[in-house]
Amino acid sequence: MKKILITGGAGFIGSAFVRQTLRKHPDYQVINLDALTYAGNLETLADVEKNPNYRFIKGDIGAKDLVEQLFAEGLDYVVNFAAESHVDRSIAGPEIFARTNILGTQNLLEAARRYWPVREPHRPADGAESPAPRYLQVSTDEVYGTLGQTGYFTEETPLQPNSPYSASKAGADLLVRAYFQTFGLPLLTTRCSNNYGPYQFPEKLIPLMISNALADRPLPVYGDGQNVRDWLHVSDHCEAIDIVLHQGVPGEVYNIGGHNEKENIYIVKLILSELKKPEALIKYVKDRPGHDRRYAIDAGKMAKCFGWRPRYTFEQGIKETLQWYLENQEWVNSVKSGDYQKYYEKQYAGR
Ligand code: NAD
Ligand code: TYD
What is the pLDDT, as a whole number, of residue 346?
A: 80
User: How far apart (Å, rounded) are the C-alpha atoms in residues 237 and 13?
Assistant: 8
What is the pLDDT, as a whole number, of residue 125?
A: 59
- Strands 261-263 and 228-233, sheet pairing: antiparallel
| CA 229 to ligand 2 centroid distance, Å | 9
- Point out the catalytic residue in the list 77, 144, 152, 165: 165
> What are 196's strand-pairing partners?
233
Whether residue 142 lies in the annotated active site: yes
Whether residue 27 lies in the annotated active site: no
Q: Domains for the chain: give ranges and CATH numbers.
A: 2-197+232-260+293-312 (3.40.50.720)
Instruction: Tell me the pLDDT band of 340, cut-offs 50, 70 and 90.
Output: confident
Beta carbon of 269 within 6 Å of any ligand 2 atom: no
Instruction: Tell me the pLDDT band of 336, cut-offs 50, 70 and 90.
Output: confident
**Which tens digit of pLDDT belongs to each residue from 12-45?**
999 999 999 999 999 999 999 999 999 999 999 9
Ligand 1: which of 19, 20, 37 to mutate, judged by most atoms within 8 Å of the beta carbon?
Answer: 37
Query: Where are the strands (E) in 218-348, listed by range?
Result: 219-222, 228-233, 253-256, 261-263, 282-285
The ligand that comes nearest to the alpha carbon of residue 13 is 1
Q: Which residue has the higher pLDDT, 182 or 338?
A: 182
Determine how many CB atoms are found less than 10 A away from the CB of residue 86.
Answer: 17
Residues listed for the chain: 351
Task: List the residue whose alpha carbon is closest to atom 17 of ligand 2.
Answer: 205
What is the pLDDT, as a whole number, of residue 349?
A: 74
The ligand that comes nearest to the alpha carbon of residue 295 is 2
The ligand 2 atom at the shortest distance from the C-alpha of residue 228 is: 14
Instruction: Tell me the pLDDT band of 339, cut-offs 50, 70 and 90.
Output: confident
Phi, psi of 166 (to 5 degrees): -70, -30
Q: Which of 103, 97, 80, 125 is nearest to 37 (CA)?
A: 97
Q: Which residue has the higher pLDDT, 245 or 341?
A: 245
Inter-residue contact 104 to 81 (CB < 8 Å):
no
Q: Which amino acid is at 70?
A: L
User: How far apart (Å, rounded) are the C-alpha atoms in residues 321 and 335?
Assistant: 17
| CA 209 to ligand 2 centroid distance, Å | 10
User: How far apart (Å, rounded) are the C-alpha atoms in residues 7 and 158?
Assistant: 27
For the chain, the farthest-separated pair of C-alpha atoms sits apart, in whole angstroms, at 62
**Which tens digit of pLDDT belongs to each residue from 156-180?**
999 999 999 999 999 999 999 999 9
